[in-house]
Amino acid sequence: MKIMISQHEAMEKKVWDEIMIMFGLNKDDELWDNEQFILTEEQARELGLIQ
């Protein structure tokens, strides 16, 4: 299963910093609020997004 999350949703759920690390992003990268990231089921579990 794949889980999609936008930057805005990740910030709301307070997992944005972890997603930045997972995808090799840094604060200087330009991103849209609605840019989406695809997580594996395992990654989503690590972030506490699913049980």
1-50 per-position pLDDT tens digit: 899 999 999 999 999 999 999 999 998 999 887 899 999 999 999 999 99
Strand partners, 3: 39
Residue type at 2? K
Q: What is the pLDDT of residue 34?
A: 85
Q: Determine the Cα–Cα distance for residues 18 and 39; give it in Å rounded to an integer.
A: 12
Q: What is the pLDDT of residue 7?
A: 93
Q: What is the pLDDT of residue 40?
A: 96
